[in-house]
Structure 1
């Protein structure tokens, strides 16, 4: 037991830092938080056993500053690091720095992470393992002229993608030669700005695709399993908004078939710990591998809800060298789960971030409701970091039970001071297209969800106005002595509101 993890530094912030702290406390493991100037009053700083200041608000001066974080690790005596997601979570240089300093990095090896992060090398490894990939350039394109040649071979529309992209950055959909020429420099620039380097590939754009990913786990002894699929098709700007499990288009036969591909994919890149293999499902039912996310996913809670597992605990156990406590045949899905990413953004301003103080907040709760969040009354949504404020999840024995619980929870969620994505989610969850599982990565555009949201808000405003007017009239009638008891009041309401 002497080399088991005793103290974990979480090199992250917000709700994911709180999530990791929660499991560590349950395991009796000490926790260390790091924080920027902006996060001095954040909950993760208060909840951890220790906290270290690592710099100014800008991520490059704090949460992306490997030297400052390593100083905090060594000063605190932490023997392990949990990177969460985002920031340095998929930075192979940081994983290698931890390895060199004999710090247990709770994730894959730096070599495996480096391979997963290089889309072309990863694609080659998948092809060798007979995992189908999206048609496209066999290697990096040298220049825009080669990109044009490949695009014309595989036919438009195509995606221009940076090898080092992620989270929707460094990707452009182009429909012709003119658009490709214009987009080439943009994708290159975005990749250099976000990741410090660029290399471009061309892939066929598949019409009406679904984004379906598989949670996978592999221990240091080579035991590998998948923990079922998550459907992540409802997106904006290639970034996920709503996830659910199971997928409405994955039956058990398909689940087993793609799950076997996922196990092969993990082995192909010698992956250890938890990760996610992401696929596009074409309208004809074919699955195409697109990438491995070498970290814990934002949407991991819905897998926890249907599997009964604590995935952060599983990560720590694997990092400790323990074998997986189950085999594939032991795993079962139970019920249905949905996650809505509660973002601070203005839907009608192309999802522009909305930041500032949150004077008051009410967090939903109840049977089958889980909310992972950093919000509390008096906190601030910072302009320096991602717009994600909370992950609202619901579980039900049936899909509709989970959906209705989510609608109720969204209605109960009150966040004062910033614009949120909550109204959009209510419109989506009430739509017939969502209810029947007719999902695709262009769901918002395909079904005019923004326009339908505007109509819903207009109708809601009118209804609220009518209700307020009716209440004022009844109060006036009461003062005049015409409404004397509850029966009179009920009768008045029915007359006013039909």
Structure 2
């Protein structure tokens, strides 16, 4: 039994740091923030019970500095560290360092993280546990000749993937052997740069697939639960853009079947705390396990909205040795939730990063609307960190209500000074295939969504220009009518009213 947690250092920044701080306040736990030179005026610094400077702006010298973070936690008297997502959240050395220093790591053990962080090691464990996996290599591949042999056996197209990390990095689609040979070195180099390791594996490329994940929770007493699915198929370069629950293609029978597989997968690696089992679903309805994300997901609020649960509070409860306080059959899915990731990127220019001061912003509100963000008027979006500036969520009793609420919230959401992905989401919310649930990981390209977005913006600009011309003409007419003769008439009317007032007084 772990000790009761009374103080938590949050080893992160931005909206996820604020999310953890809010959970701490509800539980009466002292929250301890850290910040870099770039974040001295950040909201999480002001909202935490206390905050400590951690280093210069570059992540390697601040939010990725394990020794400094653990040293700060000990000096501040923190019982536990919450890693959020990104940064050190999936580094197996971090929980090990925390444990050695008597600090509770709110997440999986180093051993479980080591397995889940190595896709080939994880795949071998899943095969043993009879969890369905995507056809391809059984181990990592250092040689392009071996990769070509396996690709030939699996059949093109194939994917080259890094055996470590995630976030879409170290991934290449190869349609034939020539392309595989060209991409192999590039994928290896990208994996090496991103994760420090260059090992790749080959996987059959499944076309028209959907990316569906199951939220997991497992405690130290061996109890595992799934908190239903999230549809994450709308992506760009393997980066998720929109998530929702329930998935349009998952019925209750499938939910129970794949949910049970997800729980079995977590047990196979002796997983602890919150995590996510990720699957690919082909057009025939087959599900293939691809990985376990050993952290709290960016899109966790989607699950919170349809279950009524607080995942961060549950994380803390499990981390201090508590049992999951509900049975699988106790969980019910309520309504539909959609999340749009608002990134500081320009969708009209190949998602070029957009940074700088935000002189003003308007955050949407209303029934079923939730916004997790660090934005405030006068803040600055830094180029040192992730481009995510806000998570906009809409809940409804059904998909259509959630969609309409999201569309209205996107109209209300304005962020001055930077470009964001909001225009793209406005287009998607009204796109017929999205409304019908006809989505896949190639949705944006398949239905030429960017072309439609550009057309809509041009049409809106033309409409605004016409309105401006009409307004100018109207103003011109008003000026003509307000010339001297009418002014005399007005004065005459005023004089008449004055005389009438004199006569009746």
TM-score normalised per structure 2: 0.94
Other-structure match for 1:235: 235
CA–CA distance in structure 2, aligned partners of residues 471 and 142 of structure 1: 67
CA–CA distance in structure 1, aligned partners of residues 481 and 225 of structure 2: 72
Other-structure match for 1:285: 285
**1:12 is the counterpart of 2:8:** no
Q: Which sits farther off after the overlay, 173-182 or 268-277? A: 173-182
Other-structure match for 1:492: none
Q: CA RMSD in A?
A: 1.2
Is 1:162–1:201's contact at 8 Å kept on the other side of the alignment?
Answer: yes
Other-structure match for 1:247: 247
Other-structure match for 1:105: 105
Other-structure match for 1:36: 36
**Following TM superposition, by how much is the alpha carbon of 1:195 offset from its aligned partner in structure 2, in angstroms?**
1.2
**Following TM superposition, by how much is the alpha carbon of 1:246 offset from its aligned partner in structure 2, in angstroms?**
0.2
What's the CA shift string for 1:150-185, capped at 9, x where partnerless? 001111110101111310001111111111111111
CA–CA distance in structure 2, aligned partners of residues 476 and 309 of structure 1: 59
What's the CA shift string for 1:241-285, capped at 9, x where partnerless? 000100000000100010010110010000011100000001111
**Following TM superposition, by how much is the alpha carbon of 1:2 offset from its aligned partner in structure 2, in angstroms?**
9.4
1:318-397 matches, within 5 Å, as: 318-397=318-397
Is 1:158–1:174's contact at 8 Å kept on the other side of the alignment?
Answer: yes
CA–CA distance in structure 1, aligned partners of residues 24 and 284 of structure 2: 44
Is 2:2–2:320's contact at 8 Å kept on the other side of the alignment?
Answer: no
In structure 2, the residue corresponding to 1:389 is in which secondary structure? strand
**Following TM superposition, by how much is the alpha carbon of 1:196 offset from its aligned partner in structure 2, in angstroms?**
1.2
1:384-423 matches, within 5 Å, as: 384-423=384-423
CA–CA distance in structure 2, aligned partners of residues 470 and 251 of structure 1: 52
**Following TM superposition, by how much is the alpha carbon of 1:68 offset from its aligned partner in structure 2, in angstroms?**
1.1
Is 1:116–1:293's contact at 8 Å kept on the other side of the alignment?
Answer: yes
CA–CA distance in structure 2, aligned partners of residues 14 and 346 of structure 1: 20
**Following TM superposition, by how much is the alpha carbon of 1:476 offset from its aligned partner in structure 2, in angstroms?**
2.8
1:64-463 matches, within 5 Å, as: 64-463=64-463
**Following TM superposition, by how much is the alpha carbon of 1:467 offset from its aligned partner in structure 2, in angstroms?**
1.8
**Following TM superposition, by how much is the alpha carbon of 1:198 offset from its aligned partner in structure 2, in angstroms?**
1.9
CA–CA distance in structure 1, aligned partners of residues 194 and 83 of structure 2: 18
Is 2:9–2:33's contact at 8 Å kept on the other side of the alignment?
Answer: yes
Other-structure match for 1:480: 480
In structure 2, the residue corresponding to 1:141 is in which secondary structure? coil
In structure 2, the residue corresponding to 1:178 is in which secondary structure? helix
Is 2:109–2:272's contact at 8 Å kept on the other side of the alignment?
Answer: yes
**Following TM superposition, by how much is the alpha carbon of 1:137 offset from its aligned partner in structure 2, in angstroms?**
0.3
CA–CA distance in structure 1, aligned partners of residues 22 and 473 of structure 2: 51
In structure 2, the residue corresponding to 1:393 is in which secondary structure? strand
In structure 2, the residue corresponding to 1:451 is in which secondary structure? helix
**Following TM superposition, by how much is the alpha carbon of 1:470 offset from its aligned partner in structure 2, in angstroms?**
2.1
What's the CA shift string for 1:181-230, capped at 9, x where partnerless? 11111111111111111211000000000000000111111111100000
What's the CA shift string for 1:302-342, capped at 9, x where partnerless? 10000000000000000011111100000000000000000
CA–CA distance in structure 1, aligned partners of residues 3 and 453 of structure 2: 54
In structure 2, the residue corresponding to 1:139 is in which secondary structure? coil
**Following TM superposition, by how much is the alpha carbon of 1:473 offset from its aligned partner in structure 2, in angstroms?**
2.4
Number of residue pairs matched?
483
CA–CA distance in structure 2, aligned partners of residues 102 and 467 of structure 1: 66
The gaps in structure 1 that reach 5 residues or longer are 485-498
CA–CA distance in structure 1, aligned partners of residues 192 and 64 of structure 2: 16
Is 1:165–1:171's contact at 8 Å kept on the other side of the alignment?
Answer: no
CA–CA distance in structure 2, aligned partners of residues 105 and 291 of structure 1: 21
What's the CA shift string for 1:421-456, capped at 9, x where partnerless? 000001111000000000100111101111111101
In structure 1, the residue corresponding to 2:60 is in which secondary structure? helix
**Following TM superposition, by how much is the alpha carbon of 1:55 offset from its aligned partner in structure 2, in angstroms?**
1.1
What's the CA shift string for 1:4-39, capped at 9, x where partnerless? 001000000000000000010011000111111111
CA–CA distance in structure 1, aligned partners of residues 25 and 375 of structure 2: 20
CA–CA distance in structure 1, aligned partners of residues 323 and 363 of structure 2: 37
Is 2:2–2:319's contact at 8 Å kept on the other side of the alignment?
Answer: no
Q: Which sits farther off after the overlay, 14-23 or 343-352? A: 343-352
Q: Which has the larger radius of gyration?
A: 2
CA–CA distance in structure 1, aligned partners of residues 16 and 135 of structure 2: 35
The gaps in structure 2 that reach 5 residues or longer are 487-505
Is 1:36–1:53's contact at 8 Å kept on the other side of the alignment?
Answer: yes
In structure 2, the residue corresponding to 1:248 is in which secondary structure? coil
TM-score normalised per structure 1: 0.95
